[in-house]
A and B are shown apart, each in its own frame.
Chain A
Amino acid sequence: MKYEPVIGLEIHGELLTNSKMFCSCSADYGSAPEPNSNICPVCTGLPGAMPVVNKKATELAALVGLALNCSINKHNTFARKNYYYPDLPKGYQISQYELPIAEKGFLEVNDGSENQLNVRVRRVHIEEDTAKLAHEKNYALVDFNRAGVPLLEIVSEPDIRTVEAALDYATKVRAILRYLGVNSGDMEKGVLRFEANISVRPVGSDEFRTRTEIKNLNSFRALVRASQYEIERQIKIYEEGGTVVQETLGWDDAREVTTSQRSKEEAHDYRYFPEPDLPPLQLSDAWIESIRSQLPELPEAKTARFISDFGLTPSEARFLTSERTLADYFENVVAKSKSPAKTIHSWIAGEFMRYLNDSGLSIDDVTLAPETLAKLIDMVTDKTIGASAGKTVLTELFKNGGDPAQIVKEKNLLQMTDVNAIQEIVTKILNDNPKEVDEYNAGKETLFQWFMGQVARTTKGKADPNVAKELMVKGLEERKK
């Protein structure tokens, strides 16, 4: 029997606010100098302390809801999710339960075979992050700097049917959060975390079988590997006539297996009830529209525009729009350059990215001005310099900055376009190598590249390759016996 997975994803993302969700302590726990330095009675759960909602966080949460095509609940409330764990100072987490800020959205994703499908977003709700626990041998150490940092939970419906679609959904949510500027997407720092709900069923069936929930997926790789592992594990159970047990699983990154967290099962009784310390949020149409007006052009729309305006292929456009800063950079170069957008894409996707990858840099680290890159690309387009000289100049610009024209002059990289000069070089090469000429004319056509190599060596790569090629073909033809 053939099986298909049924996958739903929960994505937790911290919101980039200055202060915490319910108090005025700094939310920037990553740069806190010491443990327990950004804390107050509210975020450490001292008796009598009262939470007050961070206005900015509600705006960012609504922005995310709108970007995910959700409707905003004008009346939304906070709830207490009760459980006992030392990373939760109050004994409950303030969250949203019955009336989250946003619900019923969707996101178009790719299923790995160029098919698009809509994954419905069930809800987007606001909650608070927990403290950080460091487990020692016989005890644990608690740092409350992260406790109370605004956290958004984005829950999908179980609409995902392939691991590739799960990866694409997660990738797109991350890109949207980054486009909106509400989350850095830096998974290594834990500001974005995934959980996958997975079941499998026979292909063609529409039943929902028992699902398991995998927690602690802190990278895209973990999401993919854990999902693949869990799908195979469940199929094997059914094939052997067994039943899947509903449980929470952890993902062991080192061993690449899911592990049962059975011990915590009984504790999954959260006894939600309305948070008596926080009045509801009542959001007006005008407020919602003012948030909607702040939505930037999102990756999907930008991709479509890049395809229609710049004549790029879908995959070229998707590459450039994967990061807002990269898309902006590309557009700035296009605006300053006389070269075709296609050519500019080739430079950015090629030499430019190669340099960044080799140097471990990201687009955000680039100090090279778009107009400088535009100047360089134009010099190649108008044949002032050759493509290989262009690469040399780009590396120089990255390393030491400067002006492309000046670098070309200093390094003597001007392209040789004088036909007579190139002819002279071609003739000399042909006269100096009669044996190779004869072999070529006897049918050893692969030697042509060798002849071109001689031109490149003699001219240090400066000869216009098209002119040199034409003259070389002609010269060899003339020497045919």
Chain B
Amino acid sequence: MTQTIDTKTVKHVAFLVRLGISEEEAQTFSGQFSSIIDYFNMLNEVDTENVPPASDIANAENVLREDVVKPSMSREEFLKNAPNSERGYVKVPTVLGDE
């Protein structure tokens, strides 16, 4: 059967989130993605002609805060969660696709 999501699309999505996947995994995910998409496609059968698009589900609006500065978290605490740091900066590898 033809897949809604082909392996090319799977590989593109994997690239966008910087995940390396094998050809075999691409095949597997192609099938899994397709069944998820097909399942959600059932929603297309509902008539939404006069229904405005929803952008949130909590029915809240205008949740705002005043422009007041509050103390930040300590850098030491923050850097504990970083895999690597140097002189107070987070140290990261040179980015894929960078010059």
Contact across chains for A269 and B81 when beta carbons are under 8 A apart = no
A18-B69, A24-B69 in contact; A35/B56 too (CB < 8 A)? no
Chain B residues numbered 47-91 whose CB sits less than 8 Å from any CB in chain A: 54-58, 60-70, 72-73, 75, 78-79, 81, 86-91
Contact across chains for A40 and B65 when beta carbons are under 8 A apart = no
B42 interface residue per 8 A CB criterion: no
A19-B67, A37-B72 in contact; A139/B16 too (CB < 8 A)? no
Contact across chains for A263 and B97 when beta carbons are under 8 A apart = yes
Contact across chains for B16 and A82 when beta carbons are under 8 A apart = yes
Bound together, the chains give a CA A269 to CA B94 distance in angstroms of 21
Chain B proximity of A403: nearest CB distance (Å): 43
A84-B17, A140-B94 in contact; A41/B73 too (CB < 8 A)? yes
A140-B92, A140-B94 in contact; A55/B16 too (CB < 8 A)? no
Contact across chains for B69 and A36 when beta carbons are under 8 A apart = no
B46 interface residue per 8 A CB criterion: no
Bound together, the chains give a CA A278 to CA B99 distance in angstroms of 35
A114 interface residue per 8 A CB criterion: no
Contact across chains for A282 and B61 when beta carbons are under 8 A apart = yes
- Grouping DSSP codes into helix (H, G, I), strand (E, B) and loop, the A interface class, with mixed when no group exceeds half, is loop
A18-B67, A56-B67 in contact; A138/B86 too (CB < 8 A)? no
A276 interface residue per 8 A CB criterion: yes
Contact across chains for B89 and A141 when beta carbons are under 8 A apart = yes
Question: A44: nearest residue on chain B (CB-CB)?
Answer: B78
A85-B95, A274-B55 in contact; A280/B61 too (CB < 8 A)? yes
Question: A57: nearest residue on chain B (CB-CB)?
Answer: B67
Bound together, the chains give a CA A12 to CA B79 distance in angstroms of 30
Contact across chains for B68 and A269 when beta carbons are under 8 A apart = no
Bound together, the chains give a CA A353 to CA B69 distance in angstroms of 38
Contact across chains for A269 and B92 when beta carbons are under 8 A apart = no
Contact across chains for B73 and A282 when beta carbons are under 8 A apart = no
Chain A residues numbered 23-42 whose CB sits less than 8 Å from any CB in chain B: 24-26, 34-41
Candidates B56, B69, B72, B95; contact of A39 at CB < 8 Å: B72
Candidates B16, B60, B66, B89; contact of A36 at CB < 8 Å: B89
Contact across chains for B86 and A141 when beta carbons are under 8 A apart = yes
* 1/0 contact string of A264-296 vs chain B (CB within 8 Å): 101101010010101111100000000000000
Contact across chains for B75 and A26 when beta carbons are under 8 A apart = no
Candidates A82, A143, A274; contact of B89 at CB < 8 Å: A143
Candidates A17, A40, A261, A271; contact of B72 at CB < 8 Å: A40
Contact across chains for A279 and B63 when beta carbons are under 8 A apart = yes
| Residues from chain B with Cβ under 8 Å of A19 in the complex | 67-70
Binds B, one of A2-10, A46-54, A413-421, A456-464: A46-54
Bound together, the chains give a CA A57 to CA B89 distance in angstroms of 28
Question: B58: nearest residue on chain A (CB-CB)?
Answer: A279
| Residues from chain A with Cβ under 8 Å of B58 in the complex | 279
| Residues from chain B with Cβ under 8 Å of A269 in the complex | 12, 16
Chain B proximity of A272: nearest CB distance (Å): 12
Question: A50: nearest residue on chain B (CB-CB)?
Answer: B63
* 1/0 contact string of A125-162 vs chain B (CB within 8 Å): 00000000011001111111000000000000000000
Chain B proximity of A75: nearest CB distance (Å): 9
A86 interface residue per 8 A CB criterion: yes
Known contacts A41-B73, A55-B65, then 17 further A-B pairs from the complex at CB < 8 Å, ordered by chain A residue: A35-B88, A36-B89, A44-B78, A53-B65, A54-B65, A58-B64, A83-B16, A84-B16, A85-B95, A134-B89, A141-B91, A141-B92, A142-B89, A267-B97, A269-B12, A269-B16, A278-B63
State the 10 A-B residue pairs at the shortest beta-carbon distance, nearest first.
Answer: A56-B67, A141-B89, A24-B70, A279-B60, A55-B64, A274-B55, A142-B90, A263-B97, A282-B61, A77-B55
Binding site for B on A (CB under 8 A): 17-19, 24-26, 34-41, 44, 46, 52-58, 77, 82-86, 91, 99, 134-135, 138-144, 261, 263-264, 266-267, 269, 271, 274, 276, 278-282
